[in-house]
């Protein structure tokens, strides 16, 4: 039992000494240069209730929060009913903003939840999402009301 206690104490002491070692500089590890880092102001947008057959869009604002310029290589939607637009050849400098416009074609009724994947600096990704509910519009206009004519005669 004494050997086990001594072994535990020596292990703890060795760990403590190693952590205090001059050559092990934690501050240098945390101050590494942050390359292009894409910050999205909002990663989800809810359109709420929208009428069927009326396309809608939303602008997602992105910011380069890193220290080096970055480039958005691709923006891919999860289905063909969602269309992203962005400045394809633009290099976003540190602190600079850009817009990704996402459109949704509200062709079929019901709830929807779609994802958009942003690929930047060749291998980095961010996921955005849009959601909402499409309500069915009437197939024909409202029927005529014959009682309106009697009101006009008054």
pLDDT tens across 73-97, in order?
A: 999 999 999 999 999 989 999 999 9
Are the beta carbons of 116 and 82 closer than 8 angstroms?
Answer: yes
Q: Global pTM?
A: 0.67
Q: Which residues of the chain have pLDDT under 70?
A: 1, 4-36, 140-154
CATH superfamily membership of 38-135: Immunoglobulins (2.60.40.10)
Q: How many Å apart are CA 151 and CA 154, to the nearest integer?
A: 6
| Rg value, the chain, Cα | 29
pLDDT for position 3: 72
């Amino acid at each position: 039992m004494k050997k086990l206690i001594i072994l535990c104490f020596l292990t703890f002491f060795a760990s403590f000494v190693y952590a205090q070692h001059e050559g092990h500089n934690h501050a240098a590890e945390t101050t590494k240069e942050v390359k292009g880092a894409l910050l999205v102001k909002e990663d989800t947008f809810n359109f709420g209730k929208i009428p069927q057959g009326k396309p809608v869009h939303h602008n997602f604002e992105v910011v380069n929060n890193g220290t080096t310029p970055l480039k958005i290589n691709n923006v891919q939607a999860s289905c063909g009913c969602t269309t992203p637009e962005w400045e394809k050849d633009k290099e976003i400098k540190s602190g600079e903003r850009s817009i990704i416009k996402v459109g949704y074609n509200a062709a079929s009724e019901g709830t929807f939840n779609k994802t958009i994947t942003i690929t930047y600096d060749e291998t980095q990704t961010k996921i955005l999402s849009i959601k909402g509910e499409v309500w069915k519009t009437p197939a024909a206009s409202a029927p005529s009301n014959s009682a309106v004519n009697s009101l006009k005669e008054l």
